[in-house]
């Protein structure tokens, strides 16, 4: 059929099964927004800032496993979105982001709201396109969705000049894709898998190192089965929380800078690392020369560029984690779970020596308690998003995650302001679950305008603001490593968060006691509108354990010994 380029965008979204689009209109993308007005096949959520549109699409993608879709305009619309693109790229989140561009005849003339969007996005997208002819749009859009969700997922940017959206051309979406330079290798080499199984069977102290790629590959339940049958303990990265349920006896805990003592010591003592969908990030490994230095490494990843990039893999396996683990399960009988009993006991002793804990305070609520309490009250019924900072690490440490895609956070880029818009996307993807955003009094102000989005679209996100009147994580580093010189981190001058939420049409609560918190959370859930629950917490609380930057995993700063809870 002969339709305009703008109509092609809509038809492609429909063909791809898109049900939700996040975005913000402007002059260069106006033709496409006119077609959005005319259709009723998908829902559009108007964010109040383009960065929030991308974060909302990220939250949607992380929670649903689908490709997140966002639409923005040219110039400042696009530059506002760059942080979201970079965030999605770092965390391997599948997105298709369509941006408007000035007409072809104006490109390169410094026209109103012109920016070299494809040049800017090249370093923070998996792939990008500048569409110069509407006849190419069906192929490009189909390629964009395919590239975003296959292989190592990531954001794909499609930049469309305004005159191209007005062109009339033939639309045929039944195109057979043949990308000569992009052919993800999804099946692991059988010989390498056999060698890996033999290495596991011969190891005395093997340890699973679970990364976020497991969740991207929808492989969590296959990984659970392999771990249970093998009897091998496992540690999770921050992005892998929920691969194993919090109460799994073989889950040691979270690994890395703020990982548990048992997890970091287990990694330091293992003789075989079985890395699945992990990239050996610096926040996980600490000092590379000391990381698991007595261990061989099995590394399974869909991205060949990630293997041996930082830590040499003795048994490299390029492939989809789900496929590789399924192949490994066919040889599980070669692994004797009883062989690792003493190793499991050693790890239990590590945990008993320094369990993950915090000290209660009779005068102020501890932030860790808030996170644990939400877990006790809501557990599996909630999806958890976070902003970035101390509250983020405490959520990773103390929330009782039971399933994959329950935890949504900005890991690689560490983007403050991510949590609230992401939680909106999470709620759009999973309306049956309560959407909680743990945030700080610093982070929440970075995309606070999304209160309006949530109110207008009736998206009941509950934002739990752990208010310590500090830029907490930076303050912690200043306390520990800068002789308590708290330079520009005191946030004592803050708005009235209760009135702020109410001004937008939401509800607000200020909490000083545990009883008040329980009442506020229950009331927010019952009211079913966007909420701010401001919890006044202990100002100087630190996230512990902590591995100082560049330090070895086994050299942790630990919680001081007191009666703990």
Q: Is 473 a catalytic residue?
A: yes
**CB-count burial class (<10 Å; 0-12, 13-18, 19+) for 565:** exposed
- d(C-alpha 57, C-alpha 50), whole Å: 11
From 66, 126, 162, 322, the catalytic residue: 162
From 35, 50, 169, 534, the catalytic residue: 50
| Beta carbons of 81 and 72 less than 8 angstroms apart | yes
Beta bridge partners of 235: 209, 253
- d(C-alpha 4, C-alpha 61), whole Å: 28
From 30, 42, 104, 113, the catalytic residue: 113
- CA distances to 8, 15, 43, 92, 169 from 4, in Å: 6, 16, 21, 32, 6
Q: Is 50 a catalytic residue?
A: yes
Q: Where are the alpha helices (DSSP H) in 457-560?
A: 472-481, 497-504, 514-527
From 8, 257, 267, 473, the catalytic residue: 473
From 112, 341, 527, 540, the catalytic residue: 112
Q: Is 112 a catalytic residue?
A: yes
Sequential DSSP letters for 358-377: ----SSSB-HHHHHHHHHHH
Of 390, 430, 441, which is closest to residue 407 (Cα–Cα)?
430
- d(C-alpha 360, C-alpha 368), whole Å: 9
What are the b/e assignments for 179-203, b being 16+ CB within 10 Å? eeeeeeebebbeebbeebbebbeeb
Element (H, E) at 274: strand 272-276
- As given in the structure block, the two tokens for residue 283 are 């926040």
Kindly list the catalytic residues: 50, 112-113, 162, 473
């Amino acid at each position: 059929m002969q339709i305009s380029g703008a109509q092609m965008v809509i038809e492609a979204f429909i063909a791809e099964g898109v049900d939700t689009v996040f975005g913000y209109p402007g002059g260069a993308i106006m033709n496409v927004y006119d077609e959005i007005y005319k259709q009723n096949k998908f829902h559009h959520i108007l964010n109040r800032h383009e960065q929030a549109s991308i974060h909302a699409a990220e939250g949607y993608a992380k929670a649903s496993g689908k490709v997140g879709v966002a639409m923005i305009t040219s110039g400042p619309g696009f530059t506002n979105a760059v942080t979201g693109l970079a965030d999605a790229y770092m965390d391997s989140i599948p997105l298709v982001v369509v941006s408007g561009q000035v007409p072809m005849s104006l490109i390169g003339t410094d026209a109103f709201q012109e920016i070299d969007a494809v040049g800017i996005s090249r370093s923070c997208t998996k792939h990008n396109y500048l569409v110069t002819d509407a006849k190419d749009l069906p192929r490009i859009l189909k390629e964009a969705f395919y590239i975003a969700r296959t292989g190592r997922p990531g954001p794909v940017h499609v930049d469309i000049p305004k005159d191209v959206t007005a062109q009339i051309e033939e639309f045929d979406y039944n195109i057979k894709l043949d990308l000569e330079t992009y052919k993800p290798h999804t099946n692991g080499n059988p010989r390498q898998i056999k060698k890996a199984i033999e290495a596991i069977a011969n190891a005395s102290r093997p340890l699973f190192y679970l990364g976020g790629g497991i969740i991207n590959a929808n492989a969590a339940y296959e990984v659970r089965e392999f771990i249970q049958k093998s009897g091998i303990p496992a540690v999770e990265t921050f992005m892998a929380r929920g691969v194993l349920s919090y109460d799994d006896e073989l889950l040691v805990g979270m690994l890395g800078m703020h990982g548990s003592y048992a997890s970091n010591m287990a990694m330091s003592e293992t003789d075989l690392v079985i890395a699945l969908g992990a990239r050996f990030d610096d926040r996980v490994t600490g000092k590379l020369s000391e990381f698991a230095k007595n261990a061989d490494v099995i590394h399974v990843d869909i991205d060949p560029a990630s293997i041996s990039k930082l830590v040499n893999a003795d048994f490299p396996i390029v492939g989809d984690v789900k496929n590789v683990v399924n192949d490994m399960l066919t040889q599980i009988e070669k692994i004797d779970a009883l062989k690792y009993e003493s190793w499991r006991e050693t790890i239990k002793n590590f945990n008993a020596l320094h369990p993950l804990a915090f000290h209660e305070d009779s005068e102020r609520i501890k932030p860790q308690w808030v996170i644990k309490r939400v877990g006790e009250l809501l557990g599996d019924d909630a999806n958890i998003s976070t902003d970035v900072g101390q509250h983020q690490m405490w959520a990773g440490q103390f929330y009782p995650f039971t399933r994959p895609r329950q935890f949504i956070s900005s890991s690689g880029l560490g983007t403050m302001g991510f949590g609230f818009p992401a939680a909106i996307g999470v709620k759009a993807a999973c309306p049956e679950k309560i959407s909680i955003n743990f945030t700080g009094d610093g982070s929440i102000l970075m995309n606070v305008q999304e209160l309006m989005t949530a109110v207008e679209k009736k998206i009941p996100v509950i934002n739990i603001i752990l208010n310590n009147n500090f830029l907490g994580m930076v303050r912690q580093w200043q306390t520990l490593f800068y002789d308590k010189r708290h330079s520009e981190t005191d946030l004592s001058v803050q708005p009235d968060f209760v009135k702020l939420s109410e001004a937008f049409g939401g509800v607000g609560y200020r909490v000083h006691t545990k009883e008040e918190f329980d009442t506020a959370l229950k009331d927010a859930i019952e009211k079913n509108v966007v909420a701010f629950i401001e919890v006044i917490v202990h100002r100087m609380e630190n996230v512990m354990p902590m591995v100082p930057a560049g330090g070895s995993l086994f050299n942790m700063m630990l919680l001081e010994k007191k009666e703990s809870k």
